[in-house]
């Protein structure tokens, strides 16, 4: 079992719903993003093309971030998910530098508010209780591993059942994001990758990403 994601770029309209869903699911503080939607343009008027690229931790099979971590805080589970044990992280940022995709962030300001000078919103208050984030440690996408684990415990199938699937995937209004088991040759995600010729981002980095992009 190895979890992965396929992203159909032509379906992505740059609505940022996946970004907001991630922030809400994990009670992420201001300026903290575990996934991003990059938008740009190429060409000159009137022949201009809009470019939209959805990025996040690539959940590499051979993650350099895990190799350089001196405390064992950056870890990889048997199902391929790379995560950070906040109790072990000392904030050295070695993993941030080692990540070739620049998808790790150091959480530095524990007092940051969405509305500075005003009270915390109810969502922020709840987050500090249900999903507290340690200051001075590295943060990153974890494929919503809590949803996966809880779903599997209930007999659900990640990528098929909403309650066992990453928040970004189930929130996407255009169905641009797909999730599933890369080790299952009959899974829907493997069918998509094969039929639509999905490719990893920067394969030359030789990290064996678990994210595939479909043009």
Q: Residue 182 burial by CB count (10 A; 0-12/13-18/19+): exposed, middle or buried? A: buried
Average pLDDT value for residue range 106-129: 92
Domain total of the chain: 1
Average pLDDT value for residue range 134-158: 96
3-state secondary structure of 8: strand
pLDDT band at 157 (very low <50, low <70, confident <90, very high): very high
Residues 53-89: tens digit of each pLDDT: 999 999 999 999 999 999 999 999 999 999 999 999 9
pTM over 0.85: yes
Task: Give the pLDDT of residue 214.
Answer: 96
Q: In the chain, what percentage of residues exceed pLDDT 70?
A: 100
CATH label of the domain that carries residue 34: 3.30.70.20
Contacts of 104 (CB under 8 A, 6+ apart): 57, 65, 95, 96, 138, 139, 140
* Parent domain of 140: 3-214
Task: Give the pLDDT of residue 189.
Answer: 95
């Amino acid at each position: 079992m190895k979890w992965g994601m396929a992203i159909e770029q032509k379906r992505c309209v740059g609505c940022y719903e996946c970004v907001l869903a991630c922030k809400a699911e994990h009670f992420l503080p201001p300026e903290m993003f575990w996934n991003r939607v990059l938008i740009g343009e190429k060409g000159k008027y009137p022949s201009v093309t809009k470019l939209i690229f959805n990025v996040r931790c690539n959940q590499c099979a051979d993650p350099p971030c895990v190799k350089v971590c001196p405390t064992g805080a950056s870890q990889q589970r048997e199902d391929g998910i790379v995560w950070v044990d906040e109790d072990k992280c000392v904030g050295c940022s070695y993993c941030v530098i080692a990540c070739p995709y620049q998808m790790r962030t150091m959480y530095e300001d524990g007092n940051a508010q969405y509305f500075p000078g005003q009270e915390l919103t109810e969502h922020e208050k709840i987050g500090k209780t249900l999903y507290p984030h340690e200051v001075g440690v590295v943060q990153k996408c974890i494929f919503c591993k809590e949803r996966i684990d809880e779903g599997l415990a209930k007999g659900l199938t990640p990528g098929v059942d909403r309650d066992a699937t990453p928040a970004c995937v189930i929130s996407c209004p255009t169905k641009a994001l797909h999730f599933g088991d890369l080790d299952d040759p009959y899974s829907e995600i493997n069918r998509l990758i094969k039929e639509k010729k999905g490719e990893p981002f920067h394969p030359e980095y030789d990290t064996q990403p678990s994210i595939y992009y479909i043009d």
